[in-house]
Amino acid sequence: MQDDSTLTVTSSRIEDCSNLHSWGPGIHTDYVLHYIIRGEGCFRTGSQCYHIRTGQSFLIRPGETVHYYPSPENPWTYGWVNFHGSQVQELLDMTGFSRCPVSPQAELTGIFQQFSSQIWQTHLRIRNAGLLRVLLSHYIETYPADSQRQPQDYLRSAKQLIEANFFRSDFTVGELSRKIGIERTYLFRIFKEQEGVSVIEYLIHTRLEHARQMLEDGVGPIKLIAYSVGYENPLYFSNAFKKRFGLSPKHYLLQSKPPAHRLGKASEEP
C-alpha cells in the first residue's frame, strides 16, 4: 500500500530532557512540531528567542536554522512529530503558526502520546497520519490564523463543502453560504472574481465532472449516475451534460469506445 503523500509522519517520540539534552543550531528537512508536556526551555530561530512553558508548542519549518534547549532549573519533557506532505502548508496556513512559531498553552498531551515511532508498520503509519490531522485540527481551533478571513479562505471552504455535498439534490447555495457564514451575494462575488463563474455554475460543473468520471468508469446505468450527482430528473441531467460536454451521456460513452458491456448500460438514457 502506497503512503498518503498529502500528510505523512516520518518520526515521533516523547523526549525527557532532564539530562539537559539540547538540539542545534541546525536545520530540519521536515516540519517538526514540539509540545511541552512539562517543564520549560528556550527556542531560538533567526534573531528570535522564545521562552516556552508547559502546554505550549513550537513549530520548526524545513530549512530554518534553529536551536532549542531545556531550562537547567526546570528541564522540559516534550513530544515531537516530524512530518511533510502536499497539504501541510494549506493546513498550517489555517493556524496561528502562519504568524508566530509558538502557540499558546493547550492540553494536547494525550494526542502526542498516541503517536507511534514504529513507522515501518503500515497500520501505524496510517494511524499516525490520522492523528496528525486531529492534532492540526486542534491548532486550527485553539490557535487559528488571523480572524480576518480572506476571500481565498471562503472560496476554499465553499469548494470543500460543494465536494462533500454535490450528490444531494436538495443542496442549495443558501445552505452553502450559511455554513460558511457569509452572505449569498458576497459568495457569488467571490466565485465570479476568483473562478470566473457563479457559485451555481461551479456546483453544476462539479456534479457533471463527477458524472463524466462515473460514465468513464462504467458505473451506470445513466439514471443511477444522474441520481448520484444530485439530479432527480434524468432527462434534465442528460440535457445539462450535453450542454457542458457537447454530447449526451449515451453518445459520450460511444465516443470514448468503452468495453461492450458498458454499451448496454448507456441505452437506458431517457
What domains lie within the chain, and their CATH numbers?
8-142 (2.60.120.280), 151-266 (1.10.10.60)
- pLDDT, tens digit, for every residue of 144-164? 886 556 788 888 889 999 999
Helices 173-180 & 199-216 angle (0-180, nearest 10): 110
**4 by DSSP, 3-state: which?**
coil
Contact 14, 113 (CB under 8 A): yes
Give the pLDDT score at 57.
97
Q: Which residues of the chain have pLDDT under 50?
A: 1-2, 258, 260-270
Strand partners, 8: 84
User: Which residue intervals of 166-248 are DSSP H helices?
Assistant: 173-180, 184-195, 199-216, 222-228, 234-245
- pLDDT, tens digit, for every residue of 6-53? 889 999 999 999 999 999 999 999 999 999 999 999 999 988 899 999
Query: Which grid coordinates belong to 245?
Result: 460536454
Give the pLDDT score at 252.
86
| Closest to 101 (Cα-Cα) out of 140, 55, 43 | 43
Give the pLDDT score at 35.
97
- pTM tops 0.85, yes or no: no
- Rounded to whole angstroms, the Cα distance separating 3 from 10 reads 11
